[in-house]
Each structure stands twice: as structure tokens, then as C-alpha cells.
A and B are shown apart, each in its own frame.
Chain A
Amino acid sequence: MWRSSKRFCFFRNLILSLLFFGFAECSYSQSLPPEILRSDVNVQLADFLRRIETQTNYRFFYREEWITGISITDKDVGKSLFTFLDELVTGSDLGYSLREEYMVVFLKDPQQALKRSQLLAQATQNRLKVERVELGEASSVGAKGRVFNVTGRIIDRETKEPLAGASIQIQDINLAITAASDGSFSFRAEGGLRVMQVKYVNYEEKVIDLSLFADGFVDIQLNEIPAVLEEVVIQAGRDVKAASTGQVEISMRDLKRAPALLGEVDLIKQVQMMPGVATVSEAASGFNVRGGSVDQNLILYDGLPVFNSSHAFGFFSAFNSEAIRDVTFYRGGIPAEFGGRISSVLNIRSKEGDYEKWGAVGGIGIISSNLLVSGPIKKGTTALTASLRSTYSDWALRAIRSNLVDLQNSTVAFFDGSAKITHRFSQKTKIAISAYQSGDRFRLQDDSTYQWQTSLQALQIDHVFNPRFSFSSTLGSGRYGYQVTDDDPINSFRLGYSIRHPSLKTDFIYQLPKHKISFGFQATDYHFQPGRIEPLSSDSGITRFEVARQRAVEGGVYLADQWDVSSRLQVDAGVRISSFHALGPGDVLQYRPNTPIETVNVIDTLSFGAGETITSFFNPEPRVSFRFQLSEKGYLKGGYHRVYQYLHLITNTTAVTPVDIWLPSSPYIKPQSANQYSLGFYKVNTAKNFEWFVETYYKQMDNVLDFKDGAELILNQQLETDLLQGVSRAYGVETQFTKVSGRLTGMVSYAYARSLRTIKSINPLESINDGREFPSNFDQPHTVNLTWKYGISRRYFFTGAFTYHTGRPITIPLIAFSVENINVSSFSDRNVYRVPDYHRLDIALVIEGSHKRKKFWDGTWTFSLYNAYARRNPYAVFFQEVRPGILRPFQLSVIGTVIPSVSYTFKL
């Protein structure tokens, strides 16, 4: 027992002051220390110390149980007090220190206390907020080793929005947890003085100095990060202790500081800067993760899948960065919660409105401008946020007078907007209604007009049953579609495609002291309109035609456990059972067994009625990953996951085009699957402000889709006759070094990655490269990325990015010959040549407004140079007909020089 509560408070305050001033100053100038007398022999140590207190100015602070049973012996007689104490603590878990020349403070486990003091001192040095929280009184401590339950909630200080995914590390016992979707968390720890470190992307880090002597609730409020604080663009390393392999959180703030093409902040391009992520060309839509194709990435916006993530053929992201609250990218261990794409998950969550006050954020750029307004509809309970981004490129195009290009009849227009209303019924229940819409319109001179749109609507309910048990459910609907129209009277037509996907997803989280159990289900009802063409005038020679509509239901149930096996070992294990049902109505051709899938081999047709199951797939998807702490700074992480993919992007071009289509698995298009193994070593040196990791992986993918030479993919009723499926394997090593704080921050990464495919057909002549393994279209063995941010002053930043990757494989014409007087070119085997290597440097100067927290207007200027040394990187490689039938390869560099830009963002 403590000697008194009063003394304990004093003791605690003393400890704190010790921590702040360090232990090293153990000296005193009092008169000579007292000696142990003969009369002290056999006296209990506690009684001895009391005698010293009565006879001198010395005061001792300790817990009775620490020294119970210790008494003075003959050998101690004549020793000075401190000689005696030194001998006493040597080899034991006790320690002591002397402060202010008269206070002797005993410490249990001094190393831990030292570590704790260092953590708090370092937090102070780094100007982090340290908040003291007391749960219970020290006097309430019972038996040694008693364990207490701590629950809590992490929210935004201003908006009161829960910060799901925020990480909490109890530093002195190496426990790491993350906040649930409602911001809640819980853990159990032995009583005592604890240091909690709370982090969340875009928010100020906070340190909680926790006195844990009873069960209790900790309410943590974080401030959105002010500009003066340091952070990095990609925060993978910061989550080393909490995250599974390959999980990265993206800082939207630094994303906005990075140089960008025409000043358009681009989330997807930021993703492309990560090790293990590649893109096929300049400004291409989508990205390739660890040897996977573009369609193997699940992009979620408020929980709903997005099928087209770009504007203007991939030049700009379809997401307004101002409307995004947080982004998490999983390229390695995909949690059991997610399914349906085999390479990665990019989980984007939109901002909630401010519950307290109205405000606005906006940006003015060369191509587009955006505005976001946010505020309370009913203060404290209901909030609204709405954003709109729109281009004025049409106006600008028409303003250009040129003899070279006729732009008068051209259109490059896009917009995106979102809105979200959130309402809190109570601290435990919240509802959110959100919508997202984006659209593009593209027409160059008198060519066809391309239009494509995405719309998403979601209703989300979050409810906390109790501090340990919560759930979140999202009922949503989405639609993606495109139209191509041509108004040439002879061949006027409208070609269209669409996919509609209502869905329901429910997740539960149950937290136990050492387990975080999550489970839930998901169901999506897909309605495909695979293609339809119709004439636009009576003179048109186009015949109306529609590919039969398709319907499919994808489902998944999952159970996962994040288990803190020990203070050093954390295991995330789970399983997802995915299912997919292709439903009628529909006709399925039956092909002669063991023959190529061609119409000449059709032997029968099976007809299915509405809602009748055409084919079903059920697949277990085990996921497991672990984190093992090798040392204070080093971690070993590994994982395995299997994922199935039931929707496929049907394309035969290298870059994604707006007229590519997504189709479901069917009796002849098997689901793709991937088995990925990864292992990595991570090092976090907080003292030296750097993080480093190296990770290796091997991924085996089955049933990857390819196409036969000459395949017709648009408006093809029997698409299976033009497709081939094969196997793919990808492997590589990724390493990244990040400097996380200081005036200069940044990241340099290198990845060696291979992506190889084997496509064999029953008909050997239809096999690709005669059935031999060949590089995939996105096989880019070497990738180097470098990003940095240098703080010239508190408001001026010099930022930049450099990227290099090996040129992608390509198939090119080699020879030509004549067939019935028509010259034709014959191409090489698939992907045996490579386009020139890609490299580019972008730099920017960012000038931020004043950093006063209370201000009406906050503006930031960004001046950037994209492609600073004017490298002509290929946007597309195409084959020009130099003479009839004779094709030669050319490259189009859309960005052929330095592109300057200026943009201005403001916040009210």
C-alpha cells in the first residue's frame, strides 16, 4: 500500500517532474548522508527509512510492498545511506533516484520507468501534445499485477467526428490497437503509469500520460493537423507497429503539397508512387499492384466500388482531394473484410460535415476549380458536407486559336461532386447519407463523342452496443456506364454500356482484451448491360443491337481476429467465404467437350429463366498475417492471403480506355484467384526520425484473362469465344526509406518486380507465344521513386518527386507481306520488346498562409513544374501506316515539355 494518498499525489507529481528533467542529475549538497547504526540491525527497511525521515530532511517515496521483508543486517552497519541503497538495488528490479537533494524516490522496474520518461521527454521535445489522464487513485491499487479495462473513443476535436482506424500504442508495454469505425477502442493493461501514443493521418499526434489504477473511459480528441507540423506523404512506416503487411495510409494534406500536372491534385498518381505499384504509361488510368492488372484493384468510395477512377482518359483523378477524409491502401495483406479483387484495395472515405460551424474549402486551378462547404444543419447533431469540382477546359480549348489543331469542335469536360449528411442520434448511433457523382465528356475535333459516368449513393449506420461491441452497415447503390455517339449521318450511332450494383455490407467488431474480432457479410446484386448500339437517324446504316443483359449476385461472409499473442507478437487471421451466382434470364451455349470454345463447336443451348442460377462459385479465402517485434525498433511481418475475383475488365489495350467493359464470371469465364505470400522486415527509429522496410512477395494468380489475337470485345454476344484464361505469377522485392520528421522529410523507394503470364489454349495455334511464359503488359522490373518536402520556412515548402521505371513490354510489327494484294504487317511474339524507360521529375513551391489557428481565411499557393527536365515519356505507343499496310512504331508524348502550373487553395 502507498503510505498515503497525499504522498502518492506528491510522488506522482514528483515522478513527472523527474521525467521531464531527466534522471541524470542525481546529486545533492545536503550535509553528509546518514550512516547505518548498530541499533538499526534487524530493523525493517521501512522503519529504518522512517527513522531517517524523523532525524533528517530526507524524504522517501516508495510502495510498502516493494520493500517488505527487507531488513538491516550486521554487514550494513557503518555504510552510508546511499552506499546501502546502491547495494540494495543492485541486481533487483528496484531503483531509486535523488531529487532536490532530499527526495529519495524508489522505482520499480527502473528500465521501464526510464523508457517511459524518455518517451515523455521525446514527446515534449517534438512538441507533441501530452495530456494527463487519471483512472482511479493509486491508493486503490490492490494486489500486485492487477489488470484494468480501458475503453475510450477518439474523435476530431472540432467536428466530433469519430476517427476510425486511429492507432493507439501503449508504448511501455508494446501494445498496439486501432480504433473501430465509431472511433472506439479498448484494451487491458496492468495498473501503473502508462504512455499512450495516439496517431491518425492528417491529425496532430497526441501522447497520453495515463495513470491507470482503475477501469475507465478515455476520451481522446485530436486536432486536425496545422500546417506547421511535419508529416510525410505516405505513412506506411508510421503504422508499422499497428498495421498488417502492405497497409499504407495516405496523407491528404501532403498530397496537396506535392507537385501535380496542371495543379490537379491526384490521389491515384500518389498511389502510383508507392513501391510495388506501377502504371503502364504517362497519365494512364488505373494502376498495377504487384504484377496484377488494373481491374484487380478494388477502389472503394464510402464502401462502394468505383469502376472508373479517372477523368480525361487517366490524366486526372476522379476524386476531389478536398472531399476525401482518409485513404487506406492495402497492397499486401488484404483484410478479410474486403474481397472481390485480387491485387489491392484502395479504401477512400469522404469527409463528414463539421458539427459545430460552417466553413468552406476550395481550390482554383488551370483546368478545374473545386469548392467544398461543410457545416451543421443542427449544431452538434446533424452536419452536411458538399463538394463540387468542375473543369472549364472546354472554354479554354475554344479560346485557343491555332492553325495546327482545330479545337473549336473539341470537348474535354469533366466534373465530380459529392454530398454527405450525417446525423448523430446519440453518442452511440450515427447515420450518414452520401452520394458521389462524376462524369466525363470527350470529343476531339469531329470524331466520336465519349461520355462516361459514375454515380454512388450510400446509407450508413454506425452503432455502438457497448464499448466492446459495435457495428457498421452500409446500404448502397452504384452505377457506371459509358456512351459513344457519332453523329455522322451515314453511320450515326450510340453505343452504350452500363453496370448497376446495389449492395449491402455489414461489419461487426467485438473487442476483447487480447482479441479484436470482426465479422460481417456483404452482398452485391450486379446488373450488366454489356453493350447496346442503336442508330441515331433513319439514314444511319447502323442496325440496332443489344447484347443480352446479365445479372449476378456476389456475396461474402467473413470472420477475422486480431490477436495480441504476446507483447511482441500480433497475429491477424481470418477467413472470407465468397460466393458468386450468375443468374438468368440467359442462354448459355454448350460447346463440344475438349474442343476450342468456338461457335463451330456449339452443340446445344441451355436457356435459364429469370432468377434461375446459371452457375455458382463458392470459395474460401484464408487471410493471415503476423507482426513480430524483433527488437525495440525492428519488426518482422509476414502474411498470406487468397482472394477470388468474380468481375473482369475486358480489354485488349494496354491502357484502360473508357469503352472497356466489366463482365461477370460465367460458365466459361472462371473467377480469377490469387495466392500471395509476403515477408518483410521493418525498422522504425523514432530517435533518428527514419523508417525503413524491405518486403518480398510471391503471388500466383490463376484464370487471369487474356484475349485471342483479333478478338472482338465490344458487342460480342459470345465473348467467351474470344477470351483465353491462363496463369500468372509475380514476385519481387520492395524497399523504402522514409525520413519522417525534420525540416527535410521524404521517401526513397526501389522495387524489383516481375509479372509473367502463361496462356495456353486447347488449340495450340491460339496459345499466346506458343504457350510459353511471357511478360505481362505491366512487367516493369525496376522502379525507383523519390519524394521530398523541404521546409524553407514555416510557410514555404519546396516539394518534389522523381520517378523512374523500366519501360513496359510491347508487341511491335517486324515484317510485312502481301495477301491478295493487300499489304499486311506481322507482329512479334507478345511483349518481347520494351518501350523506352520512363522517368520524370516534378517540383513545386508551396506557400501557405499564416498558421494562426483562429483565422477567417487560409490560403495556399502552389507553383509547380511537371516534367521539370522535359523528358518525352510515351503516353502511348502506336503504329502508323507509313505506306499501305506497312506499320512502324511511334510514340506519342502528351507531355513533351515542362508544364508549369499554379493553383490556389483556400479554407474558410
Chain B
Amino acid sequence: MWRSLFVFILQVVLFSQCVDRIQFDTTPSVFPVALDGFITDQPGPYEVRVNRAFDIESKNTPKTPLSVRRMEILDNLGNQERLQEAEPGVYRTSAGGIRGVIGRSYRVIVELLDGRIYESIPDTLRPSGQVDEIKYRFISGNATTQPPGFDVTFDARGGAAIDNYYLWRFIGTYQIDTDPELADVSCGESRCPRPRPCSGFILDQGNLVEVGPCTCCTCWVDFFNDVPILSDNRFVQSGRFQDMYAAFVPLNQWIFLHKVYARVEQRSLSRRAFLFWKAIKDQKEAANSLFQPISGRLPRNFIQRAGPEGNLEGIFYAAAVASKGVFITRDDVPNVNLIPAVVVPFRDSCLEFPNSTNLRPAFWNQ
């Protein structure tokens, strides 16, 4: 009887737990502007993006590019370059324009259309170390929680200084082949062929006719890790970072249609930029945790110089960059039969894949 009683009451406790949404009256009257961009020691052009922040209660993730009246990158020696709007909300330096130099500090000045002027806190470009080796290991996974794929890790090297602040971005690139000439549309109760113009095919009297090269049949798609990888000085040994975890590359039909290029880019950061990225990392990692830190506010990096009061979110920073990549091929999969086949062809432009391009990357044929 006691056992039944214990179990009953514990079940009451355990299953009475509930998660409820808390609603706060939070909608800001004006959504702030967000800016992000960086300058490196590599040749430009460099990009700075300006968007309007959006409500977390919105049903989608809208990007609202904003044009600005003026945007300039300046260094501590008086060099400067005015950026041009390459596409809505995206500002670029010229190809032969300003370039980051180690030891100099850089800042951006932006003047919004409403007259507000902001200046980023000067950020010093610090020397980068290097990525020594990219390693990968096959994970067979299990049927329920862990799909098969590759764990990608890397070894890297920084300086010997106490403040080894690094950001690593993982970029995976894979090639996809699609069939945009087979695209169709709904016509009555059936579907009618409607080849994409970029496919090089047209529909002539019900027949597909090739009239030119396909420009959207083969693309290269980038994918990233959503959580930034940051250095941790606690685990630095002689400036070396060993077995740093980069990403998991799942074994799916598109990524391993041919091969995947796993690249790790190492950026040196100032402490200020590091703390900004760390706040993002913490926010990602703390999501859904009961013991989240009290504040998830991202550090502010802009000082307002003129105009009506308002915040500018985001960051502009300077970073020296080093990178290294490695191909993971189908041959690396212990059993090629584990790679799913593309059963249903993708009958649309390959550019429909997020972060895709039809320009073959320079490293692809290495």
C-alpha cells in the first residue's frame, strides 16, 4: 500500500509540472536598428549590413533592410572609406579600398535617415593564429536521437598572450544538382510543366526544348553552425587549442550527393568583440535551461553622437582571419549505403536552397 501511495503522489508531483507562456506587454513603440559587419586583414570588399530589429512575437523572422544616409569605416591613422549600398541594407567597401592592418583600430560611423549618428567603439585588429588541422570522425548514430554523420573538430593556434580571444566559424559547403526544367505549376486538377527560365529549357508546344545552358542546376550551398565557437582561455595550452568541436555534418542525401567541404575560419577578436559573441553563444546555450543567467542583454557597442535618442544594436569589429578546410567524401562513409538516395528530384532552381550560389567556389576542385 505504501508503495502505491508513494508512486501515486510522486506521479501527481511529476506530472503536474507545467510550462506556460508568460505574456508581457513588451512591444516597443519603435524597433531599433541593428548593424553588423567587420573588417579583416584579408583583401576586401567588406560588408556592413543594416536591418531593423523585429518583435520576438512576430510569426516569422522578417528582415527589413534599411538604407542609411552615410556609412564610413575609419582607422586610427585617419584613413577612411565611405561604403556604398550594394543591395538594400548591405553596404560594401570597394575592391581595392580600405584593408585592415594588424595593430590599427577601426570604427564605423553611420548616419541614419532620421539624422541619428552612431559611432562604433574603436576595435583593434589583433594578429590571428592559424588553424592547424581539421579532423572528422564518423558517428553511426542511433535510430531515435542521433542521426549518422561526422563530428568535425579542429586544432588551432593562437598567440601566447593571456587574452587569446578567437571566434571560429564553421562553414560547410556542398554541391547540389537539381532539375529546374522539370518544375511545374498547378493547372486545374492536374499539374502542367513550367520549366524555370534559368534551366535553359523552354516549353514549346508541350515539349521541353533546351535553348541555353542551365544556370540554376548546380549550386554550392553553405551551412553554418548556429552557435558561435569561441576560445576559452581556461583550456589554452601554450596557445594551442586542441580538439575544438566545430560542427556535426549530418549524412543526408544532399550534403553527400558529392562531397562536402568543411572549413573553419579563425578570427582574432578584441575582448569587447569577444564578449559580444560570447553573449550570443551563452544565449544560444542557455535557451531552454532552467538556470539561465539573469541577463541575456547583448553588450552595446555604439555610441550615439547626434539625433534623437535611440539605441543601435549589433557590432562592428576588426579581425585577422585564417582558415583551413578539408573535403569529406562519400568514401569516408564506412558504408556508402548509409547515404540516403535522392528519391524525388528537386524540380526547382538550386538557388532556392538557403545560402546557395551557382558560382563554383575556388576551393572546390582542390
Which residues on A are within 8 Å of B, measured CB to CB?
262, 366, 392-393, 396-397, 399-400, 402, 404-405, 407, 490, 541-543, 545, 547, 598-600, 602, 652-655, 657, 707-712, 715-717, 765-766, 777, 811-831, 833, 835-836, 872, 874-881, 883-897, 899-902
Q: How far is the CB of A277 from chain B (nearest CB, A)?
A: 21
Determine which of A545, A875, A888 lies in contact with B56 in the assembled complex, contact meaning CB atoms within 8 Å. A888
CB-based contact B315/A819 at 8 Å: yes
Whether B297 contacts A827 by the Cβ 8 Å rule is yes
Closest A residue to B302 by beta carbon equals A765
On whether A818 and B11 interact (CB within 8 A), knowing A543-B235, A654-B294, A895-B16, the answer reads no
Residues of B contacting A490 in the complex (Cβ-Cβ under 8 angstroms): 151
Q: Given the complex of chains A and B, what is the CA–CA distance between A880 and B22 in angstroms?
A: 11
The smallest beta-carbon distance between A728 and chain B, in angstroms, is 15
The CB with the most chain B CB atoms within 10 A, among A710, A836, A876, is that of: A710
The 5 closest A-B pairs by CB, nearest first: A817-B34, A897-B16, A710-B279, A896-B16, A881-B287
19 A-B residue contacts at CB 8 Å? A262-B9, A366-B6, A599-B163, A709-B296, A710-B282, A715-B234, A811-B294, A815-B55, A816-B53, A818-B51, A819-B34, A820-B36, A824-B298, A886-B56, A890-B22, A891-B21, A895-B16, A895-B17, A897-B12
**Candidate in B153, B279, B290 with the most chain A CB atoms within 10 angstroms:** B290
B271 with A600: CB separation less than 8 A: yes
Q: Name the residue in B18, B22, B63 with the highest tally of chain A Cβ atoms < 10 Å from its Cβ.
A: B22
Given A541-B245, A815-B53, A830:B280 Cβ within 8 A = no
Query: 12 other contacts beyond A710-B282, A884-B61, with CB at 8 A cut-off?
Result: A366-B10, A400-B14, A404-B15, A541-B245, A599-B162, A818-B51, A818-B63, A819-B36, A827-B296, A833-B26, A879-B292, A890-B22
Residue of A nearest to B169 (CB): A820
Q: Give A542's nearest chain B residue, CB to CB.
A: B235
- C-alpha gap A830/B297 in the complex (Å): 8
Chain B residue numbers with a CB within 8 Å of A813 are 56, 296
A405 to B14, CA, bound (A): 9
Beta-carbon contacts of B231-246 to A below 8 Å, as 1s and 0s?
0011101000011110
- Asked whether, in the complex, the Cβ of A811 is within 8 Å of the Cβ of B297, the reply is yes
Q: Is the CB of A893 within 8 A of B17?
A: yes
Assess whether B200 is interfacial by the CB under 8 Å rule. Answer: no
Knowing A599-B271, A890-B19, the reply to whether A878 touches B290 (Cβ < 8 A) is: yes
Instruction: Select one of B56, B63, B121, B287 contacting A814, CB under 8 A.
Output: B56
Interface residues of B in 18-42 (CB under 8 A from A): 18-22, 24, 26, 28, 31-32, 34, 36
B275 contacts across to A, CB distance below 8 A: 708-710
B295 at the interface (CB under 8 A from A): yes
Q: Which of B5, B121, B314 has a CB less than 8 Å from the CB of A366? A: B5
Nearest B residue (CB) for A655 = B291
Chain B residues whose C-beta falls within 8 Å of the C-beta of A541 in the assembled complex = 153, 242-245
Q: CA of A888 to CA of B17 in the docked complex: distance in angstroms?
A: 19
* A825-B56 in contact given A600-B271, A818-B34, A890-B20 (Cβ < 8 Å): yes
Q: How far is the CA of A829 from the CA of B26 in the complex (A)?
A: 12
Q: Chain B's nearest CB lies how many Å from the CB of A760?
A: 15
Q: How far is the CB of A254 from chain B (nearest CB, A)?
A: 24
Binary contact track B154-165/A, C-beta < 8 Å → 1, others 0: 000000001100
CA distance A825 to B280 in the complex (A): 8
Within the complex, the shortest CB–CB distance from A857 to chain B, in Å, comes to: 19
Chain A residues with CB under 8 Å of B293's CB are 652-653, 707, 711
Report if B289 contacts A (CB, 8 A). yes
- B5 contact set on A, CB distance < 8 A: 366, 902
A830 touches B294 (CB 8 A): yes
Q: Is the CB of B56 within 8 A of A824?
A: no
- The tally of residues in B whose CB lies under 8 Å from a CB in A reads 82
Secondary structure of the B contact surface, majority rule: mixed
B3 at interface, CB cutoff 8 A: yes
Interface, chain B (partner A; CB < 8 A): 3, 5-7, 9-22, 24, 26, 28, 31-32, 34, 36, 49, 51-57, 61, 63, 121, 151, 153, 162-163, 169, 224, 226, 228, 233-235, 237, 242-245, 270-271, 275-276, 278-280, 282-284, 286-301, 313-315, 355
Q: A893 touching B20 by the CB < 8 A rule?
A: yes
Complex partner residue of B295 from A717, A827, A836, A872, CB under 8 angstroms: A827
The answer to whether A900 and B12 have CB atoms under 8 Å apart is yes
Which residues from chain A contact B51 at a C-beta distance below 8 Å? 817-818
Are B228 and A822 in contact, with the CB atoms below 8 A?
Answer: yes
Residue of A nearest to B236 (CB): A543
The answer for the CA separation of A902 and B4 in the assembled complex, in Å, is: 13
* Pairwise interchain contact B226-A822, C-beta atoms closer than 8 A: yes
Please tell me which one of the listed residues B7, B31, B224, B291 contacts residue A653 in the complex, with CB atoms under 8 A apart.
Answer: B291
Question: Are the C-beta atoms of A892 and B294 separated by less than 8 Å?
Answer: no
- Kindly list chain B residues whose C-beta atoms are within 8 Å of the C-beta of A818: 34, 36, 49, 51, 63
A399 to B7, CA, bound (A): 7
Query: Complex Cα distance A835/B21, Å?
Result: 11
Asked if A887 and B296 sit within 8 Å, CB to CB, the answer is yes
Contact of B24 among A830, A885, A889 (CB under 8 A): A889
B283: contacting residue among A397, A407, A712, A887, CB under 8 A: A887
Query: Bound state CA distance, A823 and B7, in angstroms?
Result: 44
Instruction: Collect the chain A residues with CB atoms within 8 Å of residue B292's CB.
Output: 653, 878-879
Q: Known contacts A811-B297, A830-B294, A830-B295: does B56 contact A891 (CB below 8 Å)?
A: no
> Is B36 touching A891 in the complex (CB atoms < 8 A)?
no
Contact: A366 with B9, CB < 8 Å? yes
Closest to A711 in B: B293
Question: What residues of A have a CB within 8 angstroms of the CB of B61 in the complex?
Answer: 816, 823, 883-886
With contact pairs A710-B282, A817-B54, A901-B9 given, residues A811 and B296 touching in the complex (Cβ less than 8 Å): yes
Task: Please name all residues of chain A whose beta carbon is closer than 8 Å to the beta carbon of B284 when the two chains form the complex.
Answer: 881, 885
Contacts of B169 in A (CB 8 A): 820
The answer to whether A815 and B291 have CB atoms under 8 Å apart is no
Q: Which residue of B9, B19, B237, B315 contacts A892 across the interface (Cβ within 8 Å)? A: B19
A876:B162 contact, CB within 8 angstroms: no
Given known contacts A822-B228, A825-B56, A891-B19, is B235 in contact with A814 (CB within 8 Å)?
no
C-alpha gap A827/B297 in the complex (Å): 5
List A contacts of B226 (CB < 8 A): 822, 884-885
B56 touching A899, Cβ below 8 Å: no
Q: How far is the CB of A23 from chain B (nearest CB, A)?
A: 60
Determine the chain A residues whose CB is within 8 A of the CB of B31 once the complex forms: 815
Q: Which residues of A contact B314 (CB under 8 A)?
A: 817, 819
Are A899 and B24 in contact, with the CB atoms below 8 A? no
CA of A400 to CA of B14 in the docked complex: distance in angstroms? 10
Question: What separation, in Å, do the CA atoms of A396 and B11 have in the docked complex?
Answer: 9
Q: Of A393, A823, A824, A899, which one neighbours B12 at CB under 8 angstroms? A: A899
Q: Least Cβ distance of A200 to chain B in Å?
A: 36
| B-chain residues with CB within 8 Å of residue A899 when the two chains form the complex | 9, 12-13, 16
Chain B residues in 8 Å Cβ range of A543:
235, 237, 242
Hey, which chain A residues are within 8 Å of B245, CB to CB?
A: 541
Question: Which of B10, B271, B289 makes the CB contact (< 8 A) with A598?
Answer: B271
- Contact partner of B10 among A400, A814, A836, CB < 8 A? A400
* Contact yes or no, A888 B16, CB < 8 A: no
A362 to chain B, nearest CB (A): 15
Q: How far is the CA of A657 from the CA of B290 in the complex (A)?
A: 10
| Given A821-B355, A891-B19: A814 and B26 interface contact (C-beta under 8 Å) | yes
Q: How far is the CA of A601 from the CA of B350 in the complex (A)?
A: 50
Are B22 and A835 neighbours in the complex by a CB distance under 8 Å? yes
Q: Once the chains bind, are B7 and A777 in contact (CB under 8 Å)? A: no
Given the known A-B contacts A813-B296, A815-B56, A881-B287, are A545 and B7 also in contact in the complex, defined by CB atoms under 8 Å? no
Chain B neighbourhood of A874, CB < 8 A: 22
A878 touches B289 (CB 8 A): yes
A residues in contact with B286, CB < 8 Å: 879
Q: A396-B7, A887-B287, A887-B296 are in contact. Are A892 and B17 (CB under 8 A)?
A: yes
